[in-house]
Amino acid sequence: MADIARLIEIIEPEAQALGFDLVRVIVFGKSEVGDEEVTLQVMAERPDTGQLVIEDCAALSHRISDKLDALEEAGEVLIEEAYRLEVSSPGIDRPLTRVKDFANWAGHEARVALTNPVEGNRKSLQGELIGIDNDVVTIEDKKSGRVSFPRADIHSAKLVLTDKLIAATRPLDTSGADEIVEEQED
């Protein structure tokens, strides 16, 4: 499978050149022997809004494609299989991947899957995110109460869509929304 650290090393400067923060880079899907196409998923955001609009996604997608194509032409193949590039905003119920995500979204509900069990034998937690201190995340789990664990033990973490989260997120950029064109049927 692809070297994620190397992909981040290449993609992050492209995102930063456009003024975006990189949120996550993952590769998923089956190889050529499977039915599913391999996908390189890149999530980024504008630091001031926490979102990307369609034009931002397109601009970043073009930069990443151009960079990966140039590297491939120079002999460095980062993803062996044919793949699809997917560039998006992290969305409201965003993944929590960076230290600042765990700090910025404290007080909101999160779902965390761990690689190492905590509190008996629990590898799955859900509850209010308390925060992060010295790379140790704390969550007020609905079943186990307050639980702390190293960030390195997180397999995946994301916010849970709640009314509180919706109220706390900035409205999406709605520029152009009033310019909807309705087509006439013949």
- Residue 176 belongs to some domain of the structure: no
Q: What is the pLDDT of residue 177?
A: 47
What pLDDT is stored for residue 81 in this prediction?
Answer: 87
Return d(Cα 123, Cα 94) in angstroms, integer. 20
Q: pTM, whole model, 2 decimals?
A: 0.82
> Does any domain span residue 173?
no
Tell whether 105 and 29 lie within a shared domain. Answer: no
Containing structural domain, residue 68: 4-88
The crossing angle, in degrees rounded to 10, of helices 54-73 and 4-17 is 130
Q: What is the mean pLDDT of each run of 10 residues along the chain (186 residues)?
A: 91 98 92 73 93 94 97 92 93 94 96 90 94 96 94 96 85 53 54
Q: Please tell me whether residues 45 and 118 are part of one structural domain.
A: no
Torsion, Cα 120 125 129 135, to 10 degrees, reads 60
pLDDT score recorded for residue 168:
84
Does 83 lie in the same domain as 140?
A: no
For the domain that residue 79 is a member of, what is the CATH number? 3.30.300.70
